[in-house]
Structure 1
Amino acid sequence: MITAMCNIDTSILEFIRNNLHTPILDKLMIFFTNIGESGAVWLVIALGLIISKKYRKVGLMMLVALVIGYLMGEGILKHIFKRERLFTHVPGIELLAKRPKSYSFPSGHTTSSFAAAGILAYYFRRYTPVFYLLAGLIAFSRLYLYMHYPSDVLGGIILGTLSCIITIYIFKKFFKKKNNY
């Protein structure tokens, strides 16, 4: 099963590398990776929401979901799996972005993106496609830039979604007030 997963990962990455790379996409994917670095875009949105009294709790929930995802992914799972980065196995690969120092599984960019997008989508349903499009572009940028295997990104999607669900549960269970959670 692990061999089959590795073959699927490699096939997807080779397809992206051989068929999708263009100078314009190179710049766009670097942009999306950069705004996803350390959850930056999501932290800015969360802080913007916290400033507003009306949306403060949504911003706080985003922060909680981001922290849960970070602790579980960067703090625990990466050190359990210790999966080397994709580019360490490909001799002569020229990277378009800086080399991360952490392990590969799960993708932290993807975890934070799906944790935050899930919270935003829960409260601002009308904009759900926008939130998940941004999260998806950040996640895809990690594949495009050869920073992660597809299974790392899938793990990040699952972990981010789980972080969102846990956060919503915590707020519903322990912070009941007038507002509906």
Structure 2
Amino acid sequence: MQATELFILDWMQNHLRCGLLDAVLPAISWTCNHGEVWILLALLLVLRKNSRRQGWAVAAALVLDLVCCNLFLKPLVGRVRPFAVNPAVELLIPPPLDASFPSGHTAASFAAVFALRGSGSPLWKPALAVAILIAFSRLYLYVHWPSDVLGGALLGAFLGWAGAWTAKQVYAALEGK
């Protein structure tokens, strides 16, 4: 499997690398280094009365993602990153120091998307476009294996739905329903 994933990453390096993407994709990836873009979105939604539940859904999904992805799965799996296997690749960003599986950027992004969708926010569609760009950037930047990104997307989707469900339950309890 690793050989197939290396083939995909190397193909991207050989056929997609260009000045424009070399400049844009590190910036896109940076917006989610610690979930910043999604934390900001959650905060903005919480501050608006008519979108408060959606904001709490995103916040709950991001907390679940932090625990599951960064505190549990990454240390448990401990997968080496692709740039460590193929050190000949020129990295465009500082090398991440944690384990590779699952992609935390991708997991947080898809957690936010599915929390938005599960809580009824129309923002899930533009958020999905951003999440896909972030996930693609992690492959382009050679810091994750394709299965890391897929695993992050699946984990994020599950945690996003869990975050939306949690926010719905809390709001129902607070309203006495």
Corresponding position of 2:58: 62
Distance 1:74 1:130 in 2: 25
RMSD: 1.7
Matched, 1:38 2:5: no
Unaligned runs of 5+ in 1: none
Q: Does structure 1 conserve the Cα–Cα contact (< 8 Å) formed by 2:83 and 2:143?
A: yes
Matched, 1:162 2:158: yes
Corresponding position of 1:124: 121
Instruction: Please identify runs of 4+ aligned residues in structure 1 that moved more than 6 A.
Output: none
TM-score by length of 2: 0.91
Corresponding position of 2:92: 96
Unaligned runs of 5+ in 2: none
**Counterpart mapping for 1:104-115 below 5 A:** 104-115=100-111
In the TM superposition, residue 170 of structure 1 has moved relative to its aligned partner by: 2.2
In the TM superposition, residue 128 of structure 1 has moved relative to its aligned partner by: 3.6
Distance 1:79 1:92 in 2: 26
Task: Count the aligned residue pairs.
Answer: 174
TM-score by length of 1: 0.90
**Counterpart mapping for 1:127-138 below 5 A:** 127-138=123-134
Letter in structure 2 aligned against 1:172:
K
In structure 1, the residue corresponding to 2:94 is in which secondary structure? coil
Map Cα deviations across residues 42-88 of structure 1 (whole Å, 9 max, x no partner). Answer: 11111111111111121111111001011001110111111011111
Distance 2:164 2:57 in 1: 7
Map Cα deviations across residues 142-178 of structure 1 (whole Å, 9 max, x no partner). Answer: 0000110000001100110010121222233443169
Q: Alignment identity in percent?
A: 36
Q: Does structure 1 conserve the Cα–Cα contact (< 8 Å) formed by 2:56 and 2:167?
A: no
Matched, 1:82 2:48: no
In structure 2, the residue corresponding to 1:37 is in which secondary structure? coil
* The one of 11, 16, 20 aligned to 2:16: 20
